[in-house]
Chains A and B, each alone.
Chain A
Amino acid sequence: MGLLRITSPHAHGPQHTPRVMQKVLLATLPGIVVLTHFFGFGTVVNILWGSVVALLCETLALRLRGRSPGFYLRDCSALVTAFLLGIALPPYAPWWLVAVGIASAILLAKHLYGGLGYNPFNPAMAGYVILLISFPVQMTAWAPPRGAGDIPGLLQALQACFTPDAFDGSTMATPLDLLKQNDSLLLQELWAQSPQFGRWAGIGWEWANLAFLAGGLWLLQQRVFSWHAPLAMLASLSLLAGIFYDGGGSASGGSPLFHLLSGATMLGAFFIVTDPVTSAVSVRGRLIYGAMIGALVYIIRVRGNYPDAVAFAVLIMNFAAPFIDHYTQPRTYGHQRSEGRE
């Protein structure tokens, strides 16, 4: 009788890449719900339309590369990119903006480098930066939060996406914009003057960040990623914000809490920085990688030209990840110190 020959190990653990990706998708839901509550259906439309484009682009790229789309689409990585970019884009973005961003992410940032696992840059962030540089007006038009302006309905959201010329939505500066532009008011005065501010940070923003934090903590509990990179990022961001808080004067960069709950901080910390493909791999490497992103986020937010900085900080550190890996190879069992240094 013929016996089956397979190499060891014969047993396998419970983790599967598609399941990991599905968990990541699931963990974004609280944040999406909060964003929708405060800013309307713009984000949902971004995500849905983005997902369609992402799946089409992924299928096209896989076909061009001679891979079986049926097998590789199952890893859900294209959907993760669509979700993350859809969340990061301003709500009520025109359809072509989403499409260009997703196509850049999937085709340029991912498949040109060899597809999942081979991309040196986080596809969603690469797509975001391409859009930010190419279409700064559309990319900085953020809708006002509930309480500070009118919230468009679902129909209006669809209209904004697919017939952008006919859509007449209002936009408002985000809290990070306001803080950056401020050079004369004490923080307290700024807070009192602008309707966008809430209890700790911007209205809506603070809750969205807390929701992404909750999703991230669930992923942590599910062991989808380790705590090292996110914690290092949040710690270094808080540390710098604390050092340069300046008592809330007019030159203040904002409080640590403000930075933790503003912009894409939590989305970045738990959904972008934790992207395993583009980050450093060893524990020490991930600590360095996360901490550097946190520092860059603060520096760009306060000193740079753009109000939010997660995308730039992540891309810069994506560049540095192989370099960090090279210098943080762990000490192998039975060796005096880590090797591979020259």
Chain B
Amino acid sequence: MRKISGFHGGIHPAQNKAQSSQTPIVFTGIPPQLVFPLSQHIGSAARPVVSVGQRVLKGQVIAEPVGFVSVPVHASTSGTVRAIEERVIAHPSGHAAPCIVLTSDGADEWVEHSGVADYRSLSPGALLERIRGAGIAGMGGAGFPAAVKLALQPGKKIDTLIINGTECEPYITADDRLMRERAAQVIQGAQILAYLVAPGETLVGVEDDKPESLAALRAAAAGSAIEIVEIPTKYPSGGEKQLVEILTGRQVPSGGLPADIGVICQNVGTAAAVYQAIIHGRPLISRITTVTGAAVRAPGNFDVLLGTPMHFLLERAGWDPGDRQRVIMGGPMMGFTVASLEAPVVKTTNCLLAPTATELPTPPPAQACIRCGMCAQVCPASLLPQQLFWFAQGREFDKLEQHNLFDCIECGACSWVCPSNIPLVQYYRASKAEIVHLRRDSDKAEHSRLRFEARQERLAREEQEKEAKRAARREAAQQRAKQAHEGSGTEEDPIQAAIERARAKQAEAQQGAPDAAQAAIERARQARDDRASEAPRDQARLQLEKAQQRLRVAQAKLAECRQSDAADQVIEALEASIARLTEKVTAAQRQLDAAQEA
């Protein structure tokens, strides 16, 4: 028996899973119109590769990834591209985003596709490419592209692969039904992932309130190296960091990834999607979504095509809305209310919860915080939520960061227990956003300052150089005039001579040179020589300045990326370009030196 570690805090909210977990998964059908947001994952949005009016087939790529942290989008049924435009998407802010709108033709005609019966015949690189090409992005809710997680960093050894079948959020049973009905797919997907990652052990973590899932997985995994681990039911044990601690006893370092301690975590839905992608060559075009809550007559789980409008799905479940109806995408702890039911089901839509007002009442007005500390007792990140609340109210951002606000996973346990109904998570979200905003502003200001200073420096330098040239020309002209004067042999002008003497004295006082005139002649000579070689030298200097400028910009960008925790790939790319630019600067400097010598 595996040793299970606990994690700090956690709560036991009413599960409410039985409403939707009793009936088999039902295929929703093909809606007349589907909407595909170009960004259904963390990272950069995909770029459309179809045009309006074009006919597309089921499984066809309609938008391709841009950059490393990105995945393609596929049509989930055959039909005609109706529009590429902004549509309301499922997002906490309820904003609109670029989408591809498809009118289905009902034929549901597949694009040509093929899988590989023996995934071992493929190299890990080829497998990874197929997973990425299938558009698989973390299906647990965050939507992190699976291939990015699986792309091993050199030097990082993975000892544990965790398949997350915890599903700790109340109401949601999508993973439960998936594990019960398609355990073999989950296990085979896990085996493919294990082949790819080559970990010491592969664990599937499932809470002990899903005995059927546990039994199905155990049967499917019999004889394989995959271990099914039963863990105690407690929210939020399905949080990636919490599950890692439960199963390995290790904590993911703050600001780091599980891979930093040799762990990779994938959802059971992702494992099943990987199985579909590799064995059958089918991209991720549908998912299992729980539709539940007392405002639907027939709660259950639905196999739904991505892009299906939410109202289509709700109607399939017997949608019976009340006044002031709430529709939550996700669970009651971390889900967000959707702004419009026109928004489509996307890769991260694990649940649509339509509660009645009595089932999940609107929160009463908040009372005073009595610092009871229940929030600190349940916080899975071991934070002090009541202190954070205090600082958030006072906008004490330094204190918030000092008390590790950014380690808050927004699980909502603190708000759930708060006897005074204080919307704590909302305070933290707002403060986080504000701090990020302030950081960006200060980075921007710093960037502008650097640019301004560089410009000032350049202008001052140019002015100095010009001044030096002017002075040299003046001296040369005077010298020539003097020579001409002497050459002509006319009588000496006493006034002119006095002026000359005074000037010489002045120059002597200013420069401290023993012989100012001699120096002036030297400078004039230099200037004449310089003029001869001015063209190549100026060009070299221009090049050097350009290269220096680009290097400064790249360095500033790198600093910005480091501050904002950009992806490693971005930082690496920037570092590479900085190295390149540094080389360029040195080369330009060398050229300039050469030009100057010449």
Contact = CB atoms under 8 A, between A and B. Distances in A.
Interface of A: 1-13, 15-20, 71-72, 75, 77, 115-118, 225-226, 276-277, 279, 281-282, 286, 325, 329-335, 339-340
Given A6-B363, A281-B387, A334-B256, A17 B94 contact: no
A339 B14 contact: no
Contact of A276 (B251, B253, B373): B373
Contact of B325 (A1, A10, A17, A72): A1
Contacts of B410: 8
Dominant SS at the A interface? loop
Interface in B312-364: 321, 324-328, 330, 332-341, 353, 355, 360-363
Contacts of A339: 402, 404
Contacts of B402: 339-340
Contacts of A325: 384, 387
Contact of B368 (A5, A75, A340): A75
A20 B372 contact: yes
A17 B368 CA distance: 9
Nearest to A12: B416
Contacts of B326: 3-6, 10
Contact of A10 (B360, B383, B418, B419): B360
A8 B333 contact: yes
B75 to A, nearest CB: 28
B8 A333 contact: yes
B339 A15 contact: no
Interface in B367-393: 367-374, 376-377, 380-384, 386-387
A335 B376 contact: no
Contact of A12 (B241, B251, B381, B421): B421
A334 B86 CA distance: 40
Contacts of A276: 370-373
B412 A8 contact: yes
Given A11-B13, A225-B372, A334-B253, 9 more contacts: A3-B327, A5-B337, A17-B420, A18-B367, A71-B365, A333-B245, A333-B252, A333-B407, A335-B254
B536 interface: no
Contacts of A12: 361, 363, 415-416, 421
Shortest 7 CB-CB contacts between residues of A and residues of B: A9-B412, A117-B368, A334-B254, A15-B419, A11-B332, A116-B368, A10-B332
Contacts of B124: none
Contacts of B224: none
Contacts of B84: none
Contact of A1 (B321, B336, B361, B365): B321
B429 A7 contact: yes
B426 interface: yes
A5 B254 contact: no
A275 to B, nearest CB: 9
B423 interface: yes
A15 B417 contact: yes
Contacts of B473: none
Contact of B374 (A7, A15, A115): A15
Contact of A75 (B367, B387, B423): B367
A63 B387 CA distance: 28
B328 A332 contact: no
Contact of B251 (A4, A277, A334, A340): A334
Interface in B57-100: 92, 94
Contact of A4 (B362, B403, B418): B362
30 contacts: A2-B324, A3-B327, A3-B338, A3-B340, A5-B94, A6-B326, A7-B92, A8-B334, A8-B335, A8-B415, A9-B334, A9-B412, A10-B353, A12-B416, A19-B419, A20-B372, A72-B368, A116-B367, A118-B368, A226-B377, A282-B376, A282-B384, A330-B376, A330-B383, A332-B254, A333-B245, A333-B381, A334-B253, A335-B254, A339-B402
A330 B403 CA distance: 10
A266 B542 CA distance: 84
A9 B362 contact: no
Contacts of A340: 402-403
B570 interface: no
A118 B254 CA distance: 32
A75 B365 CA distance: 12
A8 B329 CA distance: 11
A9 B418 CA distance: 11
A77 to B, nearest CB: 8
Contacts of B245: 333
Contacts of B429: 7
B359 to A, nearest CB: 9
B425 interface: yes
B262 interface: no
A72 B8 CA distance: 33
Nearest to A331: B382
B587 interface: no
Contacts of A281: 371, 373, 376, 384, 386-387
Given A8-B333, A12-B416, A115 B254 contact: no
